[in-house]
């Protein structure tokens, strides 16, 4: 199966798991004070909805959609705006992969490898705007 199809199916199972986004942010916020300080004023309920679409954008880009949405994310997260340092994306991806492992009950090793490839491809675009 193609990487992006594996990821789409896995993401569907994650989104159907009620606490997926809560658990992702619990894990991401726990990973570093540098992450927590970025979200002190954030409405986390709204943020979870935004992230749901944000992850979908990473998957759609890996499936061949133009990178328009990721360019916009790159600009909003850049030094001049949210100022998200590139190394924080490693924490983001690690928290996401861990949460996928907890919520996708049918996850296979190849799915995790597919997620890794798909996330890295999009994260590279976002980081290139820092």
Q: Is residue 88 involved in binding ligand HEM (CB under 6 A)? A: yes
Q: Given the rule CB under 6 A, which of 4-12, 15-23, 42-50, 102-110 is the region that contacts ligand HEM?
A: 42-50
Q: How many residues does the chain have?
A: 130
- Between CA 84 and CA 86 the distance in angstroms is 6
Count of residues interacting with ligand HEM (CB under 6 A):
21
Query: CB of 7: closest distance to ligand HEM in angstroms?
Result: 14
Which of residues 17, 54, 56, 63 is near ligand HEM by CB under 6 A?
Answer: 54
- Between CA 30 and CA 33 the distance in angstroms is 8
Tell the residue number behind the tokens 């949405």, with chain if given.
69
Q: Is residue 76 involved in binding ligand HEM (CB under 6 A)? A: yes
CA trace torsion 107, 113, 119, 120 (10° rounding): 170
- How many Cβ atoms are within 10 Å of 116's Cβ, its own excluded? 14
Q: What is the DSSP letter of 32?
A: -
Q: Is residue 98 involved in binding ligand HEM (CB under 6 A)? A: no
Q: Spell out, one character per residue from 3 to 32, where the chain touches ligand HEM: x when CB under 6 A holds, - when not.
A: ------------------------------
- Between CA 12 and CA 14 the distance in angstroms is 5
Which of residues 14, 62, 84, 118 is near ligand HEM by CB under 6 A?
Answer: 84
């Amino acid at each position: 199966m193609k990487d992006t199809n594996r990821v789409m199916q896995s993401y569907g199972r994650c989104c159907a798991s009620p606490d997926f986004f809560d658990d992702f942010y619990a894990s991401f916020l726990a990973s570093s004070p540098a992450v927590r300080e970025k979200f002190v004023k954030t409405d986390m309920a709204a943020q979870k909805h935004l992230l749901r679409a944000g992850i979908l954008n990473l998957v759609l880009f890996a499936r061949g959609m133009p990178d328009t949405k990721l360019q916009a994310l790159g600009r909003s997260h850049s030094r001049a705006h949210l100022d998200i340092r590139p190394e924080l994306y490693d924490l983001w991806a690690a928290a996401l992969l861990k949460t996928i492992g907890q919520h996708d009950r049918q996850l296979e090793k190849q799915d995790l490898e597919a997620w890794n490839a798909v996330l890295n491809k999009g994260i590279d675009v976002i980081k290139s705007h820092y």
